[in-house]
Structure 1
Amino acid sequence: MSGRLFVFNPGHEEALRLPQGQSYTPPKEIRRMMLDLSPLMRLLASTDDYIWLPSADGSAQIATHEGVLLEDLSVLPPLLLTPWALEPRFIEQVRRQATSLGIRLLAPEVSSGYLTLSHRRSATDLLEYLDKHWARVEELAPRWIMPTGETERALRELLEGFRLRQGLREVIVKRPYTSSGRGVMAYDLPLSDEKISSLVAACARAGGLSVEPRLRLVQDWAAEYYYTEGEARYIGLSKFATTATTGAYTGNELQSEQALWAELSPIVGEAELEALVHAHQDFLMVRLGRGYEGYIGIDMFVYLDDAGRQKLHPAVEINVRCTMGVLALMAYEHHLAPNGSGTYQLIYGKPPTMRQLYQEHLAQRDVFVPLTFPSEQSAFYAYITRSNTR
């Protein structure tokens, strides 16, 4: 197996929706994430692997899996380009830049199955599959509004149906190619004419919108998989946190798989949770065939139904890429396993706050483990807080 070059490219979903050949520049916040959080990819790397570290001026450096910068790039063998997420424009950009540095990269395949599964509609399809092969969850499935001459009428009828037949007071509207809280909008019912017009315009720009009930969320969870040679291998549960306002990711609980399973299974049922994992795997294998290798995270959440009972939403979103949940699993294995616990935290703030916090953590290494190394300009910082090390 070739050594790998890990590259961090969050926010790729927005680029996937664009026609082939159309250029794409990530938003400023995403570019800042790339600069600040690229060292996180060390959590995935093994002995023969390397990390791509971009700079603000557009250049890049290469580091070993231990974080040591390479000065002589001529010693590198051909490497398998392993981005956070597959996106053709970004892959080609890194290949060109690597070639200028004298590095030969082997590019991963971007299959049609991968592109189809990256659309939010795939989560709707998974819910329909689970409704037949796992449990009755059809009422959780989003309804889709597509841009046609009848978009406004269809949207009004859908929202009125939600309000009158299901008694809903709030809905969630999502764009088709977004993740991590981006492109997710909450609305109180009924909507004003102004908001209806805004959603119709958004539907035309995005190529469609999904609309679903807003449930009383209690806990965010995910099931993480590694897909290779046509099979989805289950690698663990992820319990994470998001902001109440935007749904943006803020961190993960770090516990053993046994502890996480013991927390979630009483809500779902031991056999039912095992069956859900198998149903996830079967769905992914049918949809992807052998046209993808890499991580897949299926976001879920525990919510309260109308009677106040806890239930599991088994497929909120399918992330066909590495996820922060995967990095949290790796962070646990590297720094806390087998008996420790703690939190994996990703924070955002104004410079130079991140640098100051990092320096404070260096002085408390018994409690904190820095995972990135903020500069005075950094806006993002990731670290572990140890709860115990029994």
Structure 2
Amino acid sequence: MKLYLFNPDSDLALANNEANYIAPASARRMAQDMALLPIWYAAPDSAVLAPSAYNADFLRRMRELFGLRVQLATEPELPDYAEASIVPWGWNPSIRKYLLKRGVNEDKLPSPRLLADYRSLSSRIQAVEMTRRMTGRYPGYTCGEHTLVNNIEDCERIVNAMHACLLKVPWSGSGKGLNWCLHGFTKPVSNWCERILREQGCLTAEPIYNKVEDFALEFYSDGCGGVRFAGCSMFSTNEHGAYTGNLLASDGQIEEIIARYLPLEKLERIREALRTELASVYGYTYTGYLGVDMMICRQDKENKYLVHPCVEINMRMNMGVVARLFYDRFAVPGSKGRFTVEYVPDNGALRARHEQDMRNYPLIVENGRLLSGYLPLVPVTGKNCYRAYVRL
């Protein structure tokens, strides 16, 4: 049996790299509010770790609607899953310690040495070399530049040379750890850089591109040297670069959008080259999903579009894969919609939106597939600040 758990703070835990790491309150809130999210991508006859009080009824209803073959596992029941294969959102030392203390057998968990390898492979630094290789191989229709910075002097020089740039920390949560430098190397930027260099040892700098579309190519590494393509993902971010949601559509529909800017045969070349490169780097070390975030960028001077082939690599489960698997498993083929993750600090306002969506977009499910309407993917209770939902 497989046991799934949603730990969205995994990247932050990797940055800290301590077994006793404690997630920020917002990350703990998200993990609790959305604990049931793995039911939509879990393998049949598996379990999802979540509190039972308010999740059991929701899961029962989803089983009835969609024929889910997933059961609920609570924290006191973890010893019953001592021999299960554990599938977290992402691996890090703190989640290993958590599971070990609660009765999961050590041989079912990655060793500290393997977790050290995972941390290195999860760094944004991996995108630096991958981008260099991909743009070198396909210079005619790719763009992208990452500069690795190891000291404050280089940071000042690079920021001033670029005038406007984006600085990124090596490890951070999705859409976090970004510093948009729009006015040169100011004192706040200097202080931020000094802190990141002190805490994480380096950072990356890149130009700010004229982005037209965000998308990703998703892959799966089997841990035995094989990496397979797992689908396309087209997503949206807010003005700060933080993830907000995904287009719900088939791979073919997403490819049609990309084809407005890039011939599909060129996308296929990039995809196969990425798959080969990922296999050489991750194939024998890591088992799980790999998401390669990409962008379509416009070059105004030449009035043409280029693809940034590797904005970053997510070595963990990600929302793009959740959206991809939900659509393929539970949406009526040919339909289109949105997959959204939303934070509303006031629970009353969140529940009001939820109730309004239920009225405005009535749910229609036929033969275990969503035909149209609003579907919350996790229960919305009197405590939630987060919700995940689809609207088709």
When normalised by structure 2's length, the TM-score is: 0.85
Are 2:387 and 1:378 aligned? no
State the distance in 2 between where 1:187 and 1:358 align: 37
1:354 matched to which residue of 2?
A: 350
1:131 matched to which residue of 2?
A: 135
State the distance in 2 between where 1:155 and 1:77 align: 48
1:338 matched to which residue of 2?
A: 333
Are 2:14 and 1:16 aligned? yes
State the distance in 1 between where 2:159 and 2:7 align: 36
Greater Cα shift, 294-303 or 353-362:
353-362
State the distance in 2 between where 1:160 and 1:178 align: 24
Q: 1:111 to 1:197 in 2, by over 3 A?
A: closer
3-state SS of 2:284 partner: coil
> Within 5 A, what are the aligned runs for 1:193-342?
193-228=187-222, 229-244=224-239, 246-307=240-301, 308-342=303-337
**Identity across the alignment (%):** 24
Aligned length: 364
1:94 matched to which residue of 2?
A: 99
2:368 matched to which residue of 1?
A: none
| C-alpha displacement of 1:139 | 6.3
Q: Deviations over 1:112-163 (max 9, x none)?
A: 543322011100110111133333689622112114xxx2x32222223324
Structure 1 residue runs without a partner (length 5+)? 57-61, 164-169
State the distance in 2 between where 1:209 and 1:9 align: 25
- Indicate if the aligned counterparts of 1:81 and 1:108 stay in contact, CA closer than 8 A: no
Name which of 119, 122, 126 aligns with 1:115.
Answer: 119
Q: 1:18 to 1:69 in 2, by over 3 A?
A: closer
| C-alpha displacement of 1:195 | 3.2
Are 2:100 and 1:106 aligned? no
3-state SS of 1:295 partner: strand
Cα RMSD for the two superposed structures: 2.7
3-state SS of 1:78 partner: coil
3-state SS of 1:45 partner: coil
State the distance in 2 between where 1:137 and 1:98 align: 52
Q: Deviations over 1:19-74 (max 9, x none)?
A: 555x2111111001100112110111122210001589xxxxx9996565469958
3-state SS of 1:140 partner: coil
Q: Deviations over 1:276-305 (max 9, x none)?
A: 111111111111241111001000111221
State the distance in 1 between where 2:185 and 2:248 align: 40
1:28 matched to which residue of 2?
A: 25
2:89 matched to which residue of 1?
A: 84
State the distance in 2 between where 1:249 and 1:38 align: 18
- Indicate if the aligned counterparts of 1:352 and 1:375 stay in contact, CA closer than 8 A: no
1:180 matched to which residue of 2?
A: 174
| C-alpha displacement of 1:173 | 0.7
- Indicate if the aligned counterparts of 1:113 and 1:288 stay in contact, CA closer than 8 A: no
| C-alpha displacement of 1:194 | 5.0
Q: 1:205 to 1:157 in 2, by over 3 A?
A: same
Paired residue type of 2:323:
A
3-state SS of 2:347 partner: coil
Paired residue type of 2:138:
W
State the distance in 2 between where 1:356 and 1:25 align: 32
